[in-house]
Structure 1
Amino acid sequence: MSYLKLGFKQNLLLVVILTILGFAALVTLSISSLSKQSAAAEQVDLLGRWVIDLSNIKSDVSNVSRLDGARAKEVLVTLQEEKASVLSGLSDQGMEQAAELQDTLGSWIDVKKRLLETSDSIGRANDQGQRAAVNEKMDAFERTLFSFMRQPFRVLKDSVSQVLEQRTPESFAAYKEAAAGLRTSLVELDFLETFDKPLTEIETEMDKLIDLLERQNKAAAEAEQYLVELNEEVSTDLDMVLGQLATARNDANQASTTARTTILAAGLAVSLVVFLLLMTTWRKSTRALTATLDSLEKIAAGDLQQRLAVSEGRQDEFDRLGVAVNNLTEQLGGVLNGVKGSSEQLQRMSSELSQTLKVQISESEQTESETSSVAAAAEEISQTVLEMASASEETNRLSNQAQDATEKGGAVITGALGSLEQISDLFSRIHEQLNDLNAASGRVDGVTEMINGLAEQTNLLALNAAIEAARAGEAGRGFSVVADEVRALAEKTVSATSSINEINTNMQVQMKQILGAMENGQNQVSQSRSQGGEAIQEMSHIRALFGEVSDRNQQQAASIEQIAATAQSIAHSMNAVLDNVSRGSERSREIGSFSSDVVGHAQGLQGMISRFKC
């Protein structure tokens, strides 16, 4: 069965089915394209996270490599835990270089920990670690030396300082040469047997220190090597990931472009097919509707003998419409013949009814006029009474409002008096607290005077200590620095206590001003409380007067309402009578008008029926 032989409903159904199938294919294609775009976007996002993680690793390692001390150990442990988790995640996500990078990072952290432990063993100050042991032996040896032996020992001591400062093989060799020179001097002076044991102890501790320094240098070199390797690996991995990221972004852009092109082409194809089907269906339906419209226009012009052309083979919706219109035309012709006879009889009966109604309408108009006069008088009486009732109600309402306002005013004044009572209590408590604060301020003056005295004594003691340190010469230089610091601290203490005294004095003056203001506030609150009590008494008297006025207004309103109810009842009764009379007259007029219309319509109906060909 070809498309041209299908009925109108079947054509529309075919168009709908093809449209749905086309859009389903378009949606499927869109979902597929969006899936590819989503996969490309996920790859871009994954590579972006890799770049961020690698950059963070490089930055964090660089920051930690510059740290030293106990803080560095804690940061190393945290760094190892965090970055191990990050690199494991990168490895799970498919980054092949993550495992190698994790091994290099672990090796660097292990060497860095060993370097920090060696530094702790050496000591970060002269009173820590192996440096403390060497200094202790050196000080003990120096205390037992004679004055003529101090020059060789000074050379040894300077070489030890060079070892700690430079930590190079040359400084180690210089120390050994200085130790050998001191031992030679002791042999020449024949004191080797006396000083051999303390000198041997110094050499033993220095050997331990040099061994630790060599281990530290070795660990530092290894850490630097691992750090360079780690940075190179991170940079290489970053370059690789950035290249992959650029490729992934390019793939994502290509997928997006391909998806847009494919969806646009599929949409245009579906739209074109649907448009062609709709145009074909529109042309077929337009032809059938045009033929039907021409026949209906002839029927509307009065030619009831006109019949629509019907196809016996196809029998679609338009053919069924033609059959129905033909049947309707035949039945309409029979009905019009019957209506023609009935309209002639209706015209005769309507003329007789119209004459009878004219007499009845004249009598109803006279009754309506008399009833209207009585109803108007009753309405005027009722309106006057209602105005009196309204005025009475308005007076009563205003009186009630005034009474309510008086009660609210009394409540507000009572609340204000309560608030004033609370304010008065609050002023009293604040006054007591300010007195306590003033007393505490006085005690602060005593404390600052005592601190000033102590600071002056400390300054004198520091000055004496500086004088004694100057007398001691080189040995008292460190003590002189401490004395200067103590004297400076004492001067700062005197300056600080002077500032405290000035602030305390200002605070006492301000507290006296606040106390005076508080006393004035308490006096004003007391006056307000007294005036509020008098206002409450006057408000009570006004409320009683308004109560009497309200009672009298209510009695008057009740009487007026009774009169108004009676007048309204009379007015309503007269209005009801008038309405009944008016409705009767109106119905009579309507019947008369209807009778005249029936006569006219019957005549018009006969004229219209004469136009049709039955």
Structure 2
Amino acid sequence: MTIKAKLFLLMILAGLATVGTSAFGIYAELKGQDLAEKNYELRIKPIMNVEESVKLTNAITTQSLLALQHDPSGRTAAMHNHEIDVHLDVIQDGLAKLEEVNAKIAEITHRRDRSNQAQAALFATQEELTKVAFNPLLEKLEQGNYVGAQALLILTLSEVLPNFQQAAEHYEGILRTNMENELAATAERVEKDVWISSIVTVINVLIIVIIAGWIIRSVTSGLRAADRFATNLAEGNLSDTVTVDSRDEIAEIIDHMNTARDSLRNTLRHIGDASQQLASAAEETSAVSEQTDRGVARQMQEIEQVAAAMNEMTSTVEEVARNASDASQSAQSSNDSAKHGQTILGNAVNAVGILSDEIRQSSDTIDSLKAESEEIGKVLDVIGAIADQTNLLALNAAIEAARAGEHGRGFAVVAEEVRALASRTQGSTEEIHGMIDRLQSRSTAAVAAMQRAHDQVDHSTQAMSETEAALGEIAHGVSGINDLNFQIASAAEQQSAVAEEINRNVQTISQISEESAQGATQTKTASAELARLAEELQSRIAGFRL
């Protein structure tokens, strides 16, 4: 797994841990809120309603007592500066509010029977208090029956009101006890959730720490391997192979570094082998340089001998050039005479050739005439065949006309005329055949005579051509001799120039030989320096452990 994947896994686990812890905290918070809302709806709100009911009951009782003080026969009536309706309105409003509070209390259904029973007892005492005390008391006060109202207050209200107060106190006590128990349970749940959240957080942290330690260990192991590789490389140790167990980017780097180490080790081995070969080559070069020095000395001696021989050859070549020039002039005179005779004989050959061409053309014309007469004969054969066919068709037409009777007489006359015309055509064709046969026999005889004349002319032409060829060969031979003499003279001059050039080149070679001797000396010195460098390179390579 790559380092990027490991870090990504760590981030994912940390994120999941954070999300899980947050989700659990949110769940616990929502659960606490839900419990608080239920506790408020089922316990705190009913307690407030009970307290409100008790407060309203006390207020109605107080207002009833104040209303009784408006009795005109009493001593307290003069103490009030307002009408009794003020108190009666408060009593009526209190009764209405009491009904509303009772309705709110009735909406709540408890999970425990004890609470429901206490609630029912509260409703019963409240209803009894309203029916037997408050409503009759209000009615008597409205009627101005203060005596009856006072009697009702003393006899009935004083008896029923304590029952209601006791029921309210009992119901409120149960609600408060349930509230305290629920608050304790809620606190216990919250504490439990806190412990669970802490344990989950600790577990998540441990997992993250373990994975982070694993990642750090894999990375540091790779880094330690890289450090060990760098230390070996700095110490010149290329024989140890560094390995790691991980499969991340550092492992890839270590693999590449091992590959580079192998390549460097092979390169150093090749350099070592090459340095040995270089040392051997330097020694051989030094030996060759000494041998070259000796060879250059011998070469300079031989070059001096070649220069003397070239001077003698130059004198000989000049003498040969003069003799070749004299022979070239004599050969030129003989060549001119042979060319004149060859020209005269060539004109005669041309005239005979023209005669031979005319005879050949006449023979070709007669051959063409013979061929055309043969073509005419073929045409006449076709015409004869057509005449025979026409005669046969005319005969068939006459037969058909005879079968037709009177209707075929006109057609029979035409058929007879056609047959007569075909007969005349056959006769004319036979006469033309005879004329063409005579023409062909005479053409054959003329062609034979022309062929004999042409053969005789060809024989004469061949004899003159052979004579002309012989003269041409003589002229060519003389011309060749003249060219050879000229070439000899030119070659002699060129050889003289070449000899001079060779002489100059020999001097140049002598100078080059001296420079080569100096170069051989320098090569010998460079070979010694090269051998020293090769030994130094081998000593440096020996510092590495391959």
> What range is the shorter-chain TM-score in?
0.3 to 0.5
TM-score between the two structures when normalised by the length of structure 1: 0.34
